[in-house]
Structure 1
Amino acid sequence: MKLINKSILTAVITLSTASVYYAQEVQDSTKTKSKDIEEVILRGVTDIAKDRKTPVAASTIKAAQLAERLGNQELPEILNTTPSVYATKSGGGFGDGGLTIRGFESRNIAVMVNGMPVNDMEGGAVYFSNWTGLSDVTSTLQVQRGLGSSKLAIASVGGTVNFLTRSADMKRGGVIRLGVGNNDYLKTSFSYNTGKSKDGVSASFLMSRQAGGTYIENTDYESYAYFFALGYEINKKHNLQFTITSAPQWHDQRTFAPTIQNYINYNPDHDGSPYRRYNSDFGYYTDANGNKVALANRSNYYAKPVMMLNWDWTMSEKSKLSTVLYMSNGRGGGTGDLGRVGGKGMTDFYDAAGHFNYDAIFAANAAVNLNTAGAGSTLVRRSNINSHNWYGILANFQHKINDNWNFSIGTDDRYYYGYHYQVLTDLYGAAGYKDNANKNLPAPRIVNTLYDYKKLTWNPFGGKLAPAEDQVGYSNDGEVLWYSGFAQVEYNKDNLSAFLQGSVSNQGYQRIDNYVVDGSTLKGQTVNTKTGFKNIFGYNIKGGANYNINEQHNVFANLGYYSKQPFLNTVYPSNQQLINPYLSNEKISSAEIGYGFRSAKFTANVNVYRTQWKDRWLRKTGQTFNLADGSTTTGYSEINGITEVHQGVEFDGVYKPNRFLEIQGMFSWGDYYYKGNANVASFDDNNNPVTLAGSAGNELYLDKVKVGGSSNNSIPQMTASLGLTVKPVKDLNIFGTWRYVGKLYSTIDAGTFTNVSAQERGVLKLPDFNLFDVGFSYKIRLQNEAQYFTIGANVYNLFDKIYISDSATSVFANDVPTKLADGSNNTAKQTYEQLGMMYNGIATGNRAYFGFGTTWAATLSFNF
């Protein structure tokens, strides 16, 4: 929900000045070019890997490919043809997709816009629903796998994703674009650039709207974006730019992964196949006119205006300084249910089609007398607010010592304040919701003020925060102080290039719980509303070298070590005001070697890597526990002392036999596993410790178990793709792609690794799958060369392949379900396999997400 959006875009391009590498595409065996990126007028801490120079594994996607092939896919899905990258739509809501690189999830992938880190400062999360507009203004998208070349103190454990946008002072012109697609997808946008005047003044703006639904039931959405930049080049030494931008959006979601059995049971055709569109997070109610109206229980909404003031100073031919001041006030959250009515929760009100029966919920709520009922005795829809204020300064000084040596030094300082609380968005027919959670207010309180999540926040100065009397459930804030410094030394001579860089940082975390009474006691310790700051020091050092053997062959190597500070919820686990007794920095060590080949018709890269991640802390939410007393409950687990090893080999290549044909290929093989065991503590949803059935204590038996995701996302350890682009005539491109995903492992479920037998079974391996996409684009040129139309279309999953993209559980064929397929009790205690409750070799008790079926998108644009 923290958003850097469609529009952080243009202005960030002028961030600070460090060594800038230019991504290049091979032109022939002796020359490379970087025209597309040079036109962006890069300045700042924009560490883009340069071919045959920067010693890192990188893949680059240009603006033309984004415009041609993205369509109505999730933004990170454009990366699926690069080695060791796996991007899925996850739950299927607009922008809810997941991303992994080399087996590491997005919290441990540094997402950058023109070199500026944008991961959430509390938990490292990235929410791509707020990034969709980047596709309109990105000139180059580069993925650096591994520790990467950025000098900043960022969490690039798995890799770095860097968006390079067009500059605000690009040449004069505009674009009008219209896009249509499946499920009422409609996107319109208009952008215009004035170009730079003789006085050095330039302006640029963009406006867009996107709306419709996705392939999944009841996933409507609406997204806007606005952007305005004003630049002033005072003289050849000084350049100023001011930018304001935002991209407010709302979208209905599917956040709970249904069981495979429910996909089958709730298929309207009742043919025994899974209904991939099924969404268990919505239902219907009857309005005053007797019509059935859909109502979502799960939705997301956010707006994050960003304002930036950038100053670039060319001090001399050898020295440069650049500084950017920025602020961002994000407002929004996500909805879900709160409370129970008559002892029942939402899942007790499913109808025969597997959707919520809101008429029954409304009736049950209406019968509750809040004057006599206890707290939480009505079932309502709440919103978890996740808002923030973020201020920062980023500065960098670069000096060229001589023709071979240069160095840079800089600072990245930030202040962040996050607001986390609940408000009500729908009473579901109740008179209100009784709450007694806030110990600092008279209790119990009846709250009935509602907040409409579809009323988008356009206010560039922040929007209103709800007063304490409207808050329910919880209210806590997170405060982060970040100070860091970085430095780099580079050497370039003849065929050898090398660098050594390092950074130090201090992260100060404070948790503020507005529901805690100062001086109260928790686990034998005195706690207050404010914890005070916990300062944690971290650092990293990395270096590498590239050697060009001749005009065709080059080799490189890099290595690095990170002492990475944990996230805020690791410092204060269990949503409480106590510091984690096992708190320690996470240690990441990485090494990599690579080889490159370049010729007029064929280019290829091969690299081998190994990364070890020690002392990792993980919080696994949304779990169902079988307890020692025979009952079940839902809750979360907190795991510490995890060690992971990620190692593998990657290949990518391009073959151009002639000007009419291009073939692109990729292959990656990985071996990701846990090394040693870890410690786990499990809690129910009310933060009470629980004892799991079959548990031998708090040890988690993970040694040699394959690495799975930490939420609903799965992790593949083998991927491949083969693409073909045909250019039969000028301005016509016809393309197709085959993609393979294998060795796909389910999410690790902490509740199932509490004994040695579970360790021996490991994590569930999902079926491999193959997908095919096709498309075309054609440019229609007018008499004026600056004016032309472009039409294009894409079809994704051409053959309508049914496949599982993500799984949240590891249920095996020889496990015993509590219920049969028809919902009756499994009194005979037969296994899934004995009962025939299997789908494509997988037990139907697994909770999973199926990939989308065949979808399509078409675009028409006019450049002038």
Structure 2
Amino acid sequence: MKLINKSILTVAITLSTASVYYAQQVQDTVKDTRSKDIEEVILQGVTDIAKDRKTPVAVSTIKAAQILERQGNQELVELLNTTPSVYATKGGGGFGDSQITMRGFESRNIAVMVNGMPVNDMEGGTVYFSNWTGLADVTSTLQVQRGLGSSKLAIASVGGTMNFLTKSADMKKGGVIRLGVGNNDYFKTSFAYNTGKSDKGWSSSFLMSRQAGSTYIENTDYESYAYYFALGWEPNKKHNFQFTLTSAPQWHNQRTYSSTIQNYINFNPDHDGTPYRQYNSDYGYYTDANGNKVALANRANYYAKPVMMLNWDWTMNEKSKLSTVLYMSNGRGGGTGDIGRVGGKGITSFYDAEGHFNYDAIFAANQAVNLNTASAGSTLIRRASVNSHNWYGILANFQHKINDNWNFSVGTDDRYYYGYHYQVASDLYGASGYKDSNNKNIGPKIVSKTYDYQKLSWNPFGGSTAPIEDQIGYSNDGEVIWYSGFGQIEYSKNNLSAFLQGSVSNQGYQRIDNFIQDGVTKQQGQTVNTKTGFKNLFGYNIKAGANYNIDSNNNVFANIGYYSKQPFFNSVYPSNFQVVNPTLTNEKIFSAEVGYGFRSSKLSANVNIYRTSWGDRWLRRTNQTFTLPDNTTTTGYAEISGITEIHQGVEVDAVYKPFNFLEVQGMFSWGDYHYKGNATGAAFDDNNNPLTLAGTSTSTTLYLDKVKVGGTSNNSIPQMTASLGATVKPVKDLSIFGTWRYVGKLYSSIDIATFSNEAAQQKGVMKLPDFNLFDLGASYKIRLRDNNQYFTIGANVYNLFDTTYISDASTNVFTKTADQFATAAQYEAYQSTLYKGIDPSNRVLFGFGRTWAATLSFNF
């Protein structure tokens, strides 16, 4: 799961080097666009790699050298923050809890692939980057295609595609030892070695690493390991086999709840009226037997997701090639939180004066409960929500060169997925156990066994479930069968290259509820069974594009596409019930884009204009807090259907190299992301009971027409970004680099309660303050007599000027106007409480302050 890297380099630089790489290659690319290069137009093997001035998509490519040189202790996806229309944040701030949006679409609608293999969760499309932090150590190339992209697979790359191409076993012989240190006790070690290819065609490569420490946020300790092994065999020129095994088991404490601005200010230890950005409300303290105050996290994540792949490339003849990959992924782990109430109180009733949980009070209250006579859920404990899975797939692609100008490929992408979802006790918080009555097949039971989330699992074939008698809360499985076919035809002649591709797919969903009574339980007026049976959904897409090189410097391209996209699992079975959604329909996505590129020896620049419409969207917002008609609050989730979104914008990026020792990189993106028409929303508590909210009915119209698109969880989406960076190389082997980044038109998440009235529609989603950030770094290489041996010293400082800024928000509490107060004095008093013009009762996440990291590596 979490690999050891959180690094990152000032993205502008990585992107800039990528563009420089393009500029350096452009002469060969432009001089030789003859038909003999048809095999390079779109793809290699099962991996679709876009080619500069050939593939008609907006693309950015980052090489391993930039990732490793400027790595650090940042999140992997932050590497992309100077890419147009990309916004990556640290989310709640826990290790690997990053979030990313691309052209206003979140990660569940961005196709993330490893060596062309899709890794988005098959039930909900989500990508947990804590599972993939190790990729930074083993990635040879990271390519990002914005928009529909060039992938032939039947994947919903609504916002774009991220493809991590890992190092193969047949790399040059050699190794590297690395050591990294940074703020908040960040410490990382790694060792990697490649054997090179033997005379008989054998090669191998491996990496091991460990990372530990905490992040900028309070009580976010973590421990992460990573391993990578690749074995290659090329018996002859026709066949090449590559076996890969990689994983990154980890555990980390989290901050999942976005607190109010007022609480960040109130709980600042300095009491100076400024927000305490490190504040974390998801942990507290208890007193141990020796009288020591010990921190204890309520929210944490633990996971191991080993991935095994076997690639076989078969060159049948000069014109035909078959590429196949078999893969499996057995994920094990989950996340912790609280369950139950003690004395009628939830965990948020036990905050101390510093805004942390008073576990001594919780322990005392739990110890006073007699579970033999108490009702179910009468103790307050920490539970672990397990989200394990077994995933198997095959991806095959046949390519054939018809003649010098035409090429076609056909293939299949087939997968099987079984997910396990249930809860177990993780810490009893002083109670003798937890009584649960949710399993209707067993009845009320007292559970006392706990599962420690800090015990890492290294076994990719380990058990997927705990015994049913230990499960509490819920226990349901998700089964997904996916099979698809795709085809593509390509044309290349002189300065023109074009493609037409299409795919069809079937997704079969089955929900299995282990807690209901088969044929007895009723849900929504229907008698339901433990197994729903498979609900099959058909989808398809079609894409086309063309690139024309006007001359050796200028090129233009255009692409267009349409998706009929199957909805995610929880929209097929809404409200966590066994009943199929009666209004189930595919989501419709149409996208078009035009672009212009300029390449010369000193300047590389791109301009893109795009528009995407997304209709019949369905989404679920979890971890919501609702106000009921009696003004009490409860937690739960919201389901919103019938959403239509429009995403359109302009992107510009450029790299200018006036001298060999100086390179300047720049980027600007402007977007207009808004909802079209209204939608329908409904609220439910954590037990799936429909809620009537204050001022609304159970199901209500959401007035969203022309409202700006914000996030759909505790995140925000910007609609204007810019960056400017420079890399200076005053002497050989020394690089000094800096980046300025601007984020504007940043909008909060939508919520069902706010937009259930037309007045909110007029105000729109809350706009957050713009912000500017500066990063600075340097790298120096010390060469030994043997050119293959050298030391590299690197250092990075992020948020150099320690800027305080809001990175994400989850509410829309609008600033009150003067007519809402009885007197002018009351209004003036309220104005004095605002934070940069924002009502302080809004729940937000502040970005990290100044952080740093340094690395020392030895290559041999």
| CA distance in 2 between partners of 1:839 and 1:856 (Å) | 28
| CA distance in 2 between partners of 1:290 and 1:792 (Å) | 43
Match of 2:215?
214
Q: How many Å apart are 1:518 and its aligned residue?
A: 1.1
Task: Give a deviation string over 1:416-465, Cα, whole Å, max 9, x none.
Answer: 00000000110000000001100011x21000011111110011313452
Aligned residue identity for 1:863: N
Match of 1:53?
54
Match of 2:740?
738
| CA distance in 2 between partners of 1:311 and 1:459 (Å) | 26
Match of 1:504?
504
Match of 1:526?
527
Q: Is the 8 A contact 1:25 1:33 kept in 2?
A: no
| CA distance in 2 between partners of 1:831 and 1:247 (Å) | 53
Q: Is the 8 A contact 1:813 1:833 kept in 2?
A: no
| CA distance in 1 between partners of 2:766 and 2:589 (Å) | 26
How many residues align structurally? 836
SS at match of 2:691: coil
Match of 1:854?
850
Q: Tell me the TM-score normalized by structure 2.
A: 0.95
5+ residue gaps, structure 1, are 8-21, 821-825
Match of 1:586?
587
Change (3 A) 1:538 1:455: same
**1:766-845, aligned counterparts within 5 Å?**
766-814=768-816, 834=830, 836-845=832-841
- With 227-236 and 316-325 compared, the bigger mean Cα shift is at 227-236
**1:311-390, aligned counterparts within 5 Å?**
311-390=312-391
Indicate whether 1:598 and 2:594 are aligned: no
SS at match of 1:126: coil
Q: Is the 8 A contact 1:712 1:747 kept in 2?
A: yes
Q: Is the 8 A contact 2:247 2:305 kept in 1?
A: yes
Indicate whether 1:446 and 2:446 are aligned: yes
Match of 2:28?
31
Q: Is the 8 A contact 2:701 2:756 kept in 1?
A: yes
Q: How many Å apart are 1:682 and its aligned residue?
A: 1.3
Q: How many Å apart are 1:634 and its aligned residue?
A: 2.2
Q: How many Å apart are 1:774 and its aligned residue?
A: 0.2
Change (3 A) 1:525 1:832: farther
Task: Give a deviation string over 1:511-553, Cα, whole Å, max 9, x none.
Answer: 0000111112222212000000000000000000000111111
Match of 2:90?
89
Q: Is the 8 A contact 1:305 1:461 kept in 2?
A: no
| CA distance in 2 between partners of 1:295 and 1:74 (Å) | 24
SS at match of 1:743: strand
Match of 1:280?
281
| CA distance in 1 between partners of 2:831 and 2:544 (Å) | 57
Aligned residue identity for 1:86: Y
**1:748-767, aligned counterparts within 5 Å?**
748-767=750-769
**1:245-644, aligned counterparts within 5 Å?**
245-441=246-442, 443-520=443-520, 521-644=522-645
| CA distance in 2 between partners of 1:831 and 1:124 (Å) | 46
Q: Is the 8 A contact 1:832 1:843 kept in 2?
A: no
| CA distance in 1 between partners of 2:89 and 2:301 (Å) | 18
Q: How many Å apart are 1:43 and its aligned residue?
A: 4.5
- With 628-637 and 318-327 compared, the bigger mean Cα shift is at 628-637
Q: Is the 8 A contact 1:805 1:849 kept in 2?
A: yes
| CA distance in 1 between partners of 2:727 and 2:29 (Å) | 21
Match of 1:190?
191
Change (3 A) 1:499 1:596: same
Change (3 A) 1:318 1:221: same
Match of 2:701?
699
Q: Is the 8 A contact 1:6 1:246 kept in 2?
A: no
Match of 2:710?
708
Q: Is the 8 A contact 1:709 1:748 kept in 2?
A: yes
Match of 1:15?
none
| CA distance in 2 between partners of 1:209 and 1:483 (Å) | 37
Change (3 A) 1:117 1:464: closer
Q: How many Å apart are 1:815 and its aligned residue?
A: 7.8
- With 321-330 and 172-181 compared, the bigger mean Cα shift is at 321-330
Q: How many Å apart are 1:223 and its aligned residue?
A: 0.4
RMSD: 2.2
SS at match of 1:26: helix
Aligned residue identity for 1:488: Q
| CA distance in 2 between partners of 1:376 and 1:504 (Å) | 47
Task: Give a deviation string over 1:133-174, Cα, whole Å, max 9, x none.
Answer: 111111111111100000001110000011112111111100
Q: Is the 8 A contact 2:718 2:746 kept in 1?
A: yes
Match of 1:228?
229
Match of 1:13?
none
| CA distance in 2 between partners of 1:204 and 1:28 (Å) | 29
| CA distance in 2 between partners of 1:693 and 1:831 (Å) | 25
Q: How many Å apart are 1:835 and its aligned residue?
A: 5.9
Runs of 4+ aligned residues of structure 1 deviating over 4 Å after TM superposition are: 3-7, 826-833
Q: Is the 8 A contact 1:655 1:663 kept in 2?
A: yes
Match of 2:206?
205
| CA distance in 2 between partners of 1:729 and 1:23 (Å) | 19
Change (3 A) 1:430 1:33: farther
5+ residue gaps, structure 2, are 6-18, 32-38
Change (3 A) 1:395 1:832: farther
| CA distance in 2 between partners of 1:124 and 1:815 (Å) | 41
Aligned residue identity for 2:845: Y
Aligned residue identity for 1:834: Y
Q: How many Å apart are 1:628 and its aligned residue?
A: 3.4
Q: Tell me the TM-score normalized by structure 1.
A: 0.94
Match of 1:11?
none
- With 800-809 and 197-206 compared, the bigger mean Cα shift is at 197-206
Task: Give a deviation string over 1:72-128, Cα, whole Å, max 9, x none.
Answer: 000000100110000000100000011000000000000011211110000001111
Task: Give a deviation string over 1:331-362, Cα, whole Å, max 9, x none.
Answer: 00000001010011111110110000111111
Q: How many Å apart are 1:307 and its aligned residue?
A: 2.2
Q: How many Å apart are 1:685 and its aligned residue?
A: 2.0
Aligned residue identity for 2:288: D
SS at match of 1:264: helix
Q: How many Å apart are 1:206 and its aligned residue?
A: 0.7
| CA distance in 2 between partners of 1:746 and 1:69 (Å) | 31
Task: Give a deviation string over 1:315-338, Cα, whole Å, max 9, x none.
Answer: 001101121211111100000001
Q: Is the 8 A contact 2:563 2:590 kept in 1?
A: yes
- With 78-87 and 67-76 compared, the bigger mean Cα shift is at 67-76
| CA distance in 1 between partners of 2:685 and 2:599 (Å) | 57
| CA distance in 1 between partners of 2:673 and 2:106 (Å) | 13
Q: Is the 8 A contact 1:28 1:600 kept in 2?
A: no
Change (3 A) 1:832 1:137: farther
| CA distance in 1 between partners of 2:241 and 2:828 (Å) | 66
Match of 1:18?
none
Task: Give a deviation string over 1:770-807, Cα, whole Å, max 9, x none.
Answer: 00000000000000011000000000000000000000
| CA distance in 1 between partners of 2:310 and 2:60 (Å) | 31
Aligned residue identity for 1:742: G
SS at match of 2:422: strand
SS at match of 1:31: helix
Q: How many Å apart are 1:832 and its aligned residue?
A: 9.5
Q: How many Å apart are 1:24 and its aligned residue?
A: 5.7
Q: Is the 8 A contact 1:24 1:33 kept in 2?
A: no
SS at match of 1:359: helix
Match of 2:721?
719
SS at match of 1:750: coil
